[in-house]
Amino acid sequence: MWPDRRICDLLGIEHPIIQAPMTGSCTPQLAAAVANAGGLGSMGCAGKSVEKIRQEVDALKAASNHGYNLNFFATEASRTDPATLAHTRERLQPWFEKYDLGPPPEEVPPVGPGFDAERLDLVLELRPRVVSFHFGQPDVETIALLKDADIILLSTATNVQEAKALEAAGMDAIIAQGWEAGGHRGSHTVTEPMQGVGTMALVPQIVDAVSVPIIAAGGIADGRGIAAAFALGASGVQLGTAFLSCPEAATDPTRRARLQNATDQDTMVTDAVSGRCARTARSNYAASMEAARAPLPGFRQLSALVEPLLKAADDDDASFHLYGQAAALNREMPAAELIDWLIDDTGKAIAKLSPR
């Protein structure tokens, strides 16, 4: 059925459908269910300890004997200059006062790097079939060690320049992430919220620019989206938001309720929660920060400042519910059933386009 099987052959999967590695939402049970249904199950490892990653991989392997993907953030250590930190605390102060939280934290600990020697050693020990990266790629020596271990490497590109850099670095396939995608934008440098490129425009340009297989991501939720991705030249797709409604996902009740009532205009892109651009449900806090932009603390250092507000605030005032623009197309069903439905729906979409 699949018009291009390069991703299937590369990853050793039956269907070119990858479950996005959504840290905090994906679980070993979700990844295993996707893998057992013929797709590629993924585990987000960002911010997790080596011990936690090992436990989750053990749980995944107990539920599936198929290959899996471990995802890491290829970020440098974050440090924030005192002036930026002080100014951000001033901007947060009214929000903290509104919820009787006292002053915002005065200091934030350094964060990162996202993929260090300890995690490299763990990956070389576990030997997953696939390792993927967000926000770029690790250094040349690290890539060489991973390739010597016969691990397939993927990373995300949000524009053509990034895709070319990933191919030159030795990535085996590239995830072309459109602006519609939920969660953090995988840009290799810090970007402004409105700098994204939509999936429909991004995928064919990246396909034309590189020779490795392309995996389309962002705004894909059903067979029509999958068929469109293949028409644009992609060899596979990565879906994240679509899996958030599965019972195996660790989606909190509030976000599940939002997904059940989602529309195409529910979300916005902001860097005012984590320090990097992410598509999330709209909130008054994020809107106010976007209305008057200023330098912010480094990636995930800002999270430490904002966390008390997120815990205390009314959900519409301040939250970080990550999901994409196609959330209204979500279906509530187990992951294996979702994979089967996506395959069937893609077949129907392709059939409608075929001449009679």
| Helix/strand/coil percent split, the chain, to 5 | 40, 15, 45
For residues 78 and 112, is the Cβ–Cβ distance under 8 A?
A: yes
> How many angstroms separate the CA atoms of 91 and 97, rounded?
11
pLDDT of residue 355 exceeding 80: no
How far is residue 81's CA from residue 298's CA, in Å, rounded to a whole number?
9
Written as six digits, the tokens of 88 are 């951000």
The Cα–Cα gap between 316 and 307 comes to: 15
Please tell me the predicted confidence (pLDDT) of residue 204. Answer: 98
Given a contact cutoff of 8 angstroms between Cβ atoms, the answer to whether 88 and 275 are in contact is no
What was the pLDDT predicted at 356? 66
Strand partners, 281: 267
Mean pLDDT for all residues in the chain: 96
Q: What is the pLDDT of residues 78-116, one digit of tens each?
A: 889 999 999 999 999 999 999 999 999 988 888 889 999
How many angstroms separate the CA atoms of 133 and 138, rounded? 8
Closest CA to 272 of 251, 247, 292: 292
pLDDT tens digit sequence for 182-205: 999 999 999 999 999 999 999 999
pLDDT at position 48 over 70: yes
* Amino acid 78: pLDDT: 87
From the CA atom positions of the chain, what is the Rg in Å? 20
What order do you get walking across the sheet with 130-134 strand by strand? 17-19, 236-239, 214-217, 173-177, 152-157, 130-134, 68-73, 41-44
Mean pLDDT over residues 309-333, rounded? 97
DSSP state letter for 286 = H
**Average pLDDT in the 18-30 region?**
97
CA gap 347, 2 in Å, rounded: 9
Burial of 6 (0-12, 13-18, 19+ CB in 10 A): middle
Tell me how far apart the alpha carbons of residues 75 and 3 are, in angstroms, rounded to a whole number.
Answer: 35
Q: Is the pTM of this model over 0.75?
A: yes
Whether residue 287 has pLDDT greater than 80: yes
pLDDT tens readout for residues 159-186 = 999 999 999 999 999 999 999 999 999 9
Tens digit of pLDDT for each residue in 220-237? 999 999 999 999 999 999
Bridge partners (DSSP) listed for residue 40:
18
Q: How many CB atoms lie within 10 A of CB 30?
A: 27
The backbone torsions φ and ψ at residue 59, rounded to the nearest 5 degrees and listed phi first, read: -65, -40
Residue 221: the pLDDT is 98
